[in-house]
Structure 1
Amino acid sequence: MVLDGHSMAFRAFYALPAENFATSTGQHTNAVHGFTSMLINLIKEQKPTHVAVAFDVSDDTTFRKAEYDGYKGGRNETPREFSGQIDLIDKVMQAWGIKTIAMPGFEADDVLATLAAQGDAAGFEVLLVSGDRDTFQLITDNVFVLYPKQGVSNIPRMDAAAIEAKYFVTPPQYSDLAALVGESADNLPGVPGVGPKTAAKWINLYGGLEGILENLDKIGGKVGDSLREHIGSVKRNRRLNHLLRDLELPVSLQELEEPRPDHDAVEELFDTLEFKTLRTRLFALYGNESKDVHAESIEVPDYTTLTGAAELREFLDAGKGQRSALAVDLVPGGIADDAAAIAVARPDAAAFIDLASLDAEADAVLAAWLNDPHAPKVLHGFKPALKAFTARGLGLDGVVDDTSISGYLIQPDRRSYELAELAQHHLKMNVSTEAAKTGQLELAFDGEDDGAAAGALVQQSAVVLALSHHFETELTTREAQELLTSLELPVSRVLARMELDGIAVSMDRMNEQLADLSKVIENAQELAFAAIGHEVNLGSPKQLQTVLFEELGLPKTKKIKSGYTTDAASLKTLLEKTGHEFLVQLMAHRESAKLRQMVESLKKSVADDARIHTTYAQNVAATGRISSNNPNLQNIPVRSEEGRRVRGIFVVSEGFECLLSADYSQIEMRIMAHLSADPGLIQAYKDGEDLHRFVGSHIFGVAPAEVTSAMRSKVKAMSYGLAYGLTSFGLSKQLEISVDEARTLMKEYFERFGAVRDYLRGVVEQARIDGYTATIEGRRRYLPDLTSTDRQLRENAERVALNSPIQGSAADIIKRAMLGVSEALADQGLKSRMLLQVHDELVLEVAPGELEAVRKLVTEQMGAAAELSVPLDVQIGVGSSWFEAGH
């Protein structure tokens, strides 16, 4: 999201009365207040991942002013009350962490155009917030303009369809229209007698301004004479209103990612501006409430530096039975970081230990304490710490809290669980940046700054201890203590082992797939060209529209801003209708290009040991699902055969027999049957029936054997959709049927399975009363927006209330299964190991001779992971690759 700073600042200025917004020193702040309030609302509503604000530089310095001295001339003098407010807005953005860009010689619109082009090319959805109509020319399938209708509170999204409806031209043609009609805001006079409708008629008739210029002699009447007389002005207008998309900006897209406010800087600036409610709203946006008083800084506790075995033993023995906070300095080291130093904090004492300085006896004392399950320890980032100790040959037991996870259990919808943010929010304390970098401290014990590094680590341990004590009450209130100690912390241990082990990949297969995909892409492109008799850019929606709907005359797809959509879903439907060879090859080209990009990304992730080591996170998905990143193995497609083949590059290691894939069958629908207690669904599962065929036979009134694949697909889509708050309109779009048919389908479903209807109604109403939903294991998700007066926020919360118990219960069940499988493997002394967890699937590497034992224990443990009123069905596959095992 990119904002035109000056444009929106002026809108804010005129939307709020200046006399009501001024500091005690006389500085007017209505533009600053309105702009900041608007931006808070926009970020809350649009949830952009990247944000920037562009500002104009003096008109006298722009290339447009250099060409035409009258450019933007005749504007009213800037109100005195506006003076200084742009600079203040810039300061607010700095404190907020939002990059501001001003390019000498150019305008803010050119910055917007450049970022729009960069974002579009990188696959982003781009939102341009501007009150300047010139930005309409930038709209594409992925670029939209938020154009204020009134002040800065009503800012609807303008897409191509909106532009065409209002101006009768496409977005790329808007600058042609403005060149003909003129733009009073920029002091660019148009052709006398030519209004928007006349200009649009000419543009559509001749294909744009260039076509109009080529056919000047064909345009008759007075308006034709007027056009010919003012053609120089039209050309000049077009040059000046054309926005530049290739500026060399001082920032990259990556630098605009996820801006976060500097708490101290915001507090200080907003004190100066005398803003109160805005402070609260801004911090609440990031899950960090504002404070009536300044946060207290956490001072570094008095600590002892320990090196010898005797003093180390004395310190650790003195703390027996007490909860100790452990902070670990991590030194990056590839697959697993190494532990360079630790700090230990208790309520009564603190110590710093440089691991490299310990002799063998002292090392043994520390190792014994770290491994002692009866010495309670708390950390912020248990999993990375465990991996770091493992890399050093040390263990870690007795961990009773990981504040990054307990903070997540308390507030699963926070955007971040960094130590500094949790301390500010929960303890009202400020933590130094250095001390807060859990997992990546890099304190560099080089002898030059040992004291500062040690102090930062000790401070971190003190913060972790304070947080852990604070969270005890919160966890008890939310009944989440059991989830932490019996589920999440043990799962962290299992995930650490899985991350360290990684999974083997075949570079030969990977390179072979890349070569095959390249051939498919090239062949599909050639055949696509042959089908239409000429070359075309298969990645250009505009060129595809011309080919499909003008040259080939195929049925029109959904009308969008730039014509008719060429998205994957629409082209698939078009292919089913027409079977045209060009579409066959276009779809093949798209799918293969996407897969090649994925395989290339996976190739970059292969470590020196020829294995891929993904990183799992337990505190990203609010439902409790484990997420995977670097690389994200959950993104590998499984619906297409070619997509599943990507799994073929993941292979069994040398010295192991095979890979085993264990997948829950229809786990979310089984949870739905259990939670709703619907007798029909429960009986179907107990009888081992095909659920969707069973439901289809009841809805359509036919025998199970007579349920067609089309009927089954409709029932499947609806069954899963109902669990996610799918409406009859949504179902109609998904199944490409009428809303009436979708409504009838849902009505008949609920008539047959009334308990499902009652459950879905009841779960939302109960959540409105309780303020939260809960999984089978009691994992809560608080939803304050269930009582919001904002309809959109309320309906979003209702959808979350519907799906969280089901998705969250599925997450809890697979975690219980992982613990059961891990424990069973250890109890039976097996050498087989668990490597991956992806959605509802576990992938294990089986040691020679252990296949039947592993198959049996995995089936038993996954089946016993939850006590439901329906059986948990586990599907097992075996093969030399993940692809073969999953078949």
Structure 2
Amino acid sequence: MTKKLFLLDAMALIYRAYYALIRSPRITTTGRNTNAQFGFTNTLFDLINKEKPTHLAVCFDTHAPTERHTDFSDYKANRQEAPEDLLASIPDIQRIIRGFNIPCVELDGYEADDVIGTLAWQAADAGYEVYMVTPDKDYGQLLIHPHVYIYRPPYMGSKEEILDAKKVCEKWDIARVEQVVDILGLMGDAVDNIPGIAGVGEKTAAKLLKEYDTLENVLENADNIKGALGEKVRKGKESAIISKKLATIITNVPVQFHEENFMLKEWNSKELIDVFTELEFKTLGKRILGETFNAFQSAPAGVQTDLFGNVVESAAPAPKAEVEEAAATGFQADKNINNTLHSYSLLDTPEKIKEFITVALQQTEICFDTETTNIDANEAQLVGLSFSFSPHEAYYIPCPANQQQTKAILALLNELFSQPQITWIGQNLKYDLLVLKWYNVELKGALYDTMLAHYVVEPEGRRSMDLLSAQYLGYEPVHIEELIGKKGKNQGNMRDVEIERVKDYAAEDADITLQLKQALHPLLKEKDVEKVFYEVENPLVKVLTDMEFEGITVDVDFLREYSKELEREAKQFEQNVFTAAGVPFNLSSPKQLGEILFERLKIDPKAKKTKTGQYATGEDVLLKLAANNPIVSDILGYRELTKLRSTYVEALPQLLNSKTGRVHTSYAQAVAVTGRLSSNNPNLQNIPIRTDRGREIRKAFIPRDEKHTLVSADYSQIELRIVAAISGDPNMCEAFKLGKDIHTATAAKVFGIKDEEVTKEQRYRAKGVNFGIIYGQSAFGLADNLGISRSEAKEIIDNYKKEFSGITRYMDSTINFAKENGYVQTLMGRKRWLRDINSSNFTVRGFAERNAINSPIQGTAADMIKMAMIRIHAAMQKEKLRSKMLLQVHDELVFDALIEELDVLKPLILENMKAALPLPNEVPVEAELGVGQNWLEAH
């Protein structure tokens, strides 16, 4: 068997892992960013699992200076400081590497690539196939040895790539891999601040090497190189020589490849379990360690197990005071049902239930939870209900499979549910309310959702009950898979589980949630987010419950015919493409498409390739080529139609509820950090509206019958109105007060003309800058977006900032506020914490600064429409209207309106939308309303 050695460039992979998740960081319950740890561990495990190396090592840089720094003091001087979270990840990653029993190799005075180069050549001489795991292009020079390769792991959806000498030469357009250092000496390397020759890029360097073979020959023949290039080479001679030396990887580092030290060994599972638990890598831990990790995770505190989960020694349960003290000092979940005093009662007779109700009626706060047969509340049946109103005490009422018997139990409980003075506490209460609604049961009292309390306290990160319990109570609840052997709440058949075990599991949920309420409640005041919790998030739960319960009717016949129409048109686009290409091919294959467009048809001589070596054929690339290439327009048309057909037209009928025949989307209230609602099954937020074909899908959403019609109400340019209001910019505020078209008014100011003189093109550009500037768009981004020159884009932005100086002041003051306070907030006091706002790394800090500007705008818009929904829902109930609010999509609300109620409903909707959240500086809020026999017609 061939011996395979893999050498990992640690820091290159750590940086890559960290930045891959920069837009959606993994944050633990203790506030730790684990992007780098998670990504590196995934890469390492996948490599071991897939490539089956016999030997492996991870090589690190050290902080000690190297010979390169001595030769050239500016070596790597332009590198920005590493993000604090990335630096903090290194000890964890080294622990993980030790846990895999893999050696870490580093040596003062040398960089990781020097160590890797030396070990690679030593191992290759010893008969090994050596793979250097790195995204760094400089390693190509080491492939002079025939048994040494570069291994680029999968990244951002791309596949892994193995480079040999031939592929490296093709990438650089050189004849021999020895020329990698020559080309780097000529062109330099901006990443390492290697200067090269000023004005010489990659293509010019490759051209020079084709003619002169080596950098030294290029310099010797500088006088023979004509024109400006010759002058550049002559001036840059010394720079080129030092650059080649800086780029040359040292292969005689005083390290030695001893194969027994690098051989893969049995993992240290205990070390891995410890670090994975600390980093909250539950899924990844199970993926790597299997049941070993599960056994450790589920083993009760006070019970010692071996690495396979077998109990080796039992300990007496800790006294209650000690357990509580331990929970108060940290986040480790050292408490559980086996070592914590509790009293969970089974109420399995009418007499016991009535006795419980008598006590419960004396309470002002009751925590409750449902156990069901399905994670979809609209399809679920009750298995049981649990209640708690004192910590460590709870009650469980089982509900039989016989639905009539369950309804009889609910009838007994109705006296309790109908009490308006009781506040009902729960975790993700919308699910429980929706389940009960299918049994015609409603809770009359106020609600307190612990998931939403945590959401406003800490909008980022995860918030399952298990995680919150560990963080705030130091308690690990019983896991559902312990009962039914599957992942996911309420999957499997809980009715087959012994009733005592279900009782403990269900009652514990209610008990823990009650304790979470007590832990989270003081934080609402401490973080000053009580207003947004009590006036926005909590009241919205019942509104969303009613909306999800109603669902919306879908015209399946229309979708069936539309699917056929899209299929016919897609085939026509496909045929057009084949005719233009002169050959049929797989249009869904990026590889084949790239070869057709850029090799066969040569439509773009500057076509770029992805990291996998394929031509880039993404939508952004094709859109730029479409204007002058009909084949590209046909490709985009084909893609649009096939995506619409598969994602929406054919998928929607599959989502019809078995009981109602309607589509019931589920709204996620505690996901988006800005406060926006998101939806799934189906995701209504993503239904396309920018193209005619995409908008047609809205025709499929129709009223429930001929007595109803759809009403759509939409806020008008709400985010720009919010920008004007919170910035107080006089020009923008005035435009809205006078009822002007904001983009026309902006164009008039930016271009220094009268409103009536503004052209369609100028309005389009003003619209681009209006929306772009508040999201941190640069002149480069605006130029790319509008298809204009950078100088023109810069001029537009400069004029915009001059005419709307209040916007610039808002952006600057908001960033300064965030730097001083660590957060920004909406008009309702919704906060977003920006932990990286003072980062020394400008990439990370810039991302936080953009969020600082965006979040108050997007968050205020989110608060406004949520408050409008609450007001409209209450007003409709007060008027006893039979019309229903069905959907919320971005800034739009959709209603199933009884035609005879339209005269009352329409002004009611508009008045409550406009009055939901008045804006400062007297900026008016406007909404528009339409009526139709389908969503498109109403919109």
- Whether the TM-score (by the shorter chain) exceeds 0.5 is yes
SS in 1 for 2:343: coil
Which whole-Å CA distance do the structure 2 matches of 1:325 and 1:442 have between them? Answer: 23
How has the CA–CA distance of structure 1 residues 809 and 91 changed in structure 2, closer, same or farther, with 3 Å as cutoff? farther
**2:763 matches 1:716:** no
Which whole-Å CA distance do the structure 1 matches of 2:539 and 2:841 have between them? Answer: 40
Q: Name the aligned partner's letter for residue 382 of structure 2.
A: A
How has the CA–CA distance of structure 1 residues 729 and 457 changed in structure 2, closer, same or farther, with 3 Å as cutoff? same
Match of 1:428 in 2: 474
Q: Name the aligned partner's letter for residue 330 of structure 1.
A: T
Which whole-Å CA distance do the structure 2 matches of 1:460 and 1:451 have between them? Answer: 14
Match of 1:665 in 2: 716
Structure 1 residue 296: Cα displacement: 2.1
Structure 1 residue runs of 5 or longer lacking an equivalent are: 16-37, 62-83, 93-105, 113-130, 148-157, 182-196, 206-255, 274-287
**2:633 matches 1:604:** no
For residues 746-769 of structure 1, the C-alpha deviation after alignment (integer angstroms, 9 at most, x for no partner) is 221111111111011111111111
Equivalent residue runs for 1:492-507 within 5 Å: 492-507=541-556
Query: Once superposed, what is the RMSD of the aligned Cα atoms?
Result: 4.6
Equivalent residue runs for 1:7-26 within 5 Å: 7=6
Structure 1 residue 503: Cα displacement: 0.9
Contact 2:910 2:927 (C-alpha < 8 Å) held by counterparts: yes
Match of 2:425 in 1: 378
**2:129 matches 1:135:** no
Structure 1 residue 475: Cα displacement: 0.9
SS in 2 for 1:612: coil
**2:574 matches 1:525:** yes
Match of 1:852 in 2: 903
Structure 1 residue 267: Cα displacement: 12
How has the CA–CA distance of structure 1 residues 436 and 429 changed in structure 2, closer, same or farther, with 3 Å as cutoff? farther
For residues 568-602 of structure 1, the C-alpha deviation after alignment (integer angstroms, 9 at most, x for no partner) is 233222222x2x33233222112111111222222
Match of 1:689 in 2: 740
Instruction: Say which is worse superposed, 853-862 or 358-367, in terms of deviation.
Output: 358-367
Match of 1:54 in 2: 48
SS in 2 for 1:397: coil
Structure 1 residue 780: Cα displacement: 0.7
**2:532 matches 1:483:** yes
**2:377 matches 1:327:** no
Match of 2:394 in 1: 350
Contact 1:289 1:425 (C-alpha < 8 Å) held by counterparts: no
Contact 1:336 1:387 (C-alpha < 8 Å) held by counterparts: no
Structure 1 residue 685: Cα displacement: 0.8
Match of 1:792 in 2: 843
Match of 1:153 in 2: none
How has the CA–CA distance of structure 1 residues 404 and 824 changed in structure 2, closer, same or farther, with 3 Å as cutoff? same
Aligned residues: 707
Contact 1:7 1:132 (C-alpha < 8 Å) held by counterparts: no
**2:643 matches 1:594:** yes
How has the CA–CA distance of structure 1 residues 776 and 50 changed in structure 2, closer, same or farther, with 3 Å as cutoff? farther
For residues 348-368 of structure 1, the C-alpha deviation after alignment (integer angstroms, 9 at most, x for no partner) is 642221244979886444112
Contact 1:401 1:484 (C-alpha < 8 Å) held by counterparts: no
Structure 1 residue 44: Cα displacement: 6.7
For residues 448-487 of structure 1, the C-alpha deviation after alignment (integer angstroms, 9 at most, x for no partner) is 6100110111111111011000011111112222322332
Q: Name the aligned partner's letter for residue 89 of structure 1.
A: F
Match of 1:461 in 2: 510
Which whole-Å CA distance do the structure 2 matches of 1:727 and 1:289 have between them? Answer: 48
Match of 1:283 in 2: none
Q: Name the aligned partner's letter for residue 168 of structure 2.
A: Y
Instruction: Say which is worse superposed, 825-834 or 356-365, in terms of deviation.
Output: 356-365
How has the CA–CA distance of structure 1 residues 749 and 354 changed in structure 2, closer, same or farther, with 3 Å as cutoff? same
SS in 2 for 1:327: strand
Instruction: Say which is worse superposed, 520-529 or 342-351, in terms of deviation.
Output: 342-351
Q: Name the aligned partner's letter for residue 417 of structure 1.
A: R
Structure 1 residue 566: Cα displacement: 2.9
Structure 2 residue runs of 5 or longer lacking an equivalent are: 15-31, 56-94, 104-127, 135-146, 181-202, 212-280, 287-292, 308-326
Structure 1 residue 820: Cα displacement: 1.5
Q: Name the aligned partner's letter for residue 727 of structure 2.
A: S
Among candidates 439, 452, 467, match of residue 405 of structure 1: 452
Instruction: Say which is worse superposed, 393-402 or 745-754, in terms of deviation.
Output: 393-402
Which whole-Å CA distance do the structure 1 matches of 2:40 and 2:755 have between them? Answer: 45
Structure 1 residue 833: Cα displacement: 0.6
Which whole-Å CA distance do the structure 2 matches of 1:510 and 1:848 have between them? Answer: 25
**2:584 matches 1:535:** yes
Match of 1:244 in 2: none
For residues 422-445 of structure 1, the C-alpha deviation after alignment (integer angstroms, 9 at most, x for no partner) is 111122222221399999336856
Contact 1:655 1:847 (C-alpha < 8 Å) held by counterparts: no
Match of 1:396 in 2: 443
How has the CA–CA distance of structure 1 residues 300 and 439 changed in structure 2, closer, same or farther, with 3 Å as cutoff? farther
Q: Name the aligned partner's letter for residue 460 of structure 2.
A: D
Instruction: Say which is worse superposed, 325-334 or 303-312, in terms of deviation.
Output: 303-312
SS in 2 for 1:352: strand
Structure 1 residue 819: Cα displacement: 1.1
**2:936 matches 1:883:** yes
Contact 1:49 1:257 (C-alpha < 8 Å) held by counterparts: no
How has the CA–CA distance of structure 1 residues 316 and 267 changed in structure 2, closer, same or farther, with 3 Å as cutoff? closer
Match of 2:271 in 1: none
Contact 2:459 2:832 (C-alpha < 8 Å) held by counterparts: yes
Which whole-Å CA distance do the structure 2 matches of 1:742 and 1:552 have between them? Answer: 32
SS in 2 for 1:583: helix
Q: Name the aligned partner's letter for residue 324 of structure 1.
A: I
Which whole-Å CA distance do the structure 1 matches of 2:45 and 2:460 have between them? Answer: 21
Instruction: Say which is worse superposed, 293-302 or 802-811, in terms of deviation.
Output: 293-302
Among candidates 817, 829, 836, match of residue 766 of structure 1: 817
Among candidates 271, 281, 284, match of residue 259 of structure 1: 284
SS in 2 for 1:412: coil
TM-score, normalising length from structure 1? Answer: 0.71
SS in 2 for 1:143: coil
Q: Name the aligned partner's letter for residue 607 of structure 1.
A: N
**2:343 matches 1:297:** no
SS in 1 for 2:415: helix
Which whole-Å CA distance do the structure 2 matches of 1:369 and 1:50 have between them? Answer: 55
How has the CA–CA distance of structure 1 residues 745 and 703 changed in structure 2, closer, same or farther, with 3 Å as cutoff? same
Q: Name the aligned partner's letter for residue 170 of structure 2.
A: V
Match of 1:739 in 2: 790
**2:347 matches 1:306:** yes
Which whole-Å CA distance do the structure 2 matches of 1:146 and 1:484 have between them? Answer: 49
TM-score, normalising length from structure 2? Answer: 0.67
How has the CA–CA distance of structure 1 residues 759 and 843 changed in structure 2, closer, same or farther, with 3 Å as cutoff? same
Which whole-Å CA distance do the structure 2 matches of 1:325 and 1:334 have between them? Answer: 19
How has the CA–CA distance of structure 1 residues 664 and 352 changed in structure 2, closer, same or farther, with 3 Å as cutoff? same
Q: Name the aligned partner's letter for residue 420 of structure 1.
A: D
Contact 1:343 1:353 (C-alpha < 8 Å) held by counterparts: yes
Contact 1:309 1:363 (C-alpha < 8 Å) held by counterparts: no
Q: Name the aligned partner's letter for residue 704 of structure 2.
A: S
Contact 2:7 2:131 (C-alpha < 8 Å) held by counterparts: no
Q: Name the aligned partner's letter for residue 428 of structure 1.
A: G
Contact 1:406 1:471 (C-alpha < 8 Å) held by counterparts: yes
For residues 846-868 of structure 1, the C-alpha deviation after alignment (integer angstroms, 9 at most, x for no partner) is 11312222221111111111111
SS in 2 for 1:878: strand
How has the CA–CA distance of structure 1 residues 342 and 594 changed in structure 2, closer, same or farther, with 3 Å as cutoff? same
Instruction: Say which is worse superposed, 616-625 or 38-47, in terms of deviation.
Output: 38-47
SS in 1 for 2:656: coil
SS in 2 for 1:653: coil
Contact 2:367 2:425 (C-alpha < 8 Å) held by counterparts: yes
Contact 1:558 1:564 (C-alpha < 8 Å) held by counterparts: yes
Which whole-Å CA distance do the structure 1 matches of 2:331 and 2:646 have between them? Answer: 50
Match of 2:799 in 1: 748
Contact 1:527 1:582 (C-alpha < 8 Å) held by counterparts: yes
Which whole-Å CA distance do the structure 1 matches of 2:868 and 2:52 have between them? Answer: 64
Structure 1 residue 111: Cα displacement: 14
SS in 2 for 1:671: helix
Which whole-Å CA distance do the structure 2 matches of 1:711 and 1:480 have between them? Answer: 42
For residues 101-157 of structure 1, the C-alpha deviation after alignment (integer angstroms, 9 at most, x for no partner) is xxxxx9999999xxxxxxxxxxxxxxxxxx984535x8899527699xxxxxxxxxx
SS in 2 for 1:517: helix
How has the CA–CA distance of structure 1 residues 12 and 313 changed in structure 2, closer, same or farther, with 3 Å as cutoff? same
Contact 1:337 1:384 (C-alpha < 8 Å) held by counterparts: no
Match of 2:463 in 1: 417
For residues 804-827 of structure 1, the C-alpha deviation after alignment (integer angstroms, 9 at most, x for no partner) is 100111111110111122112212
Structure 1 residue 516: Cα displacement: 0.7
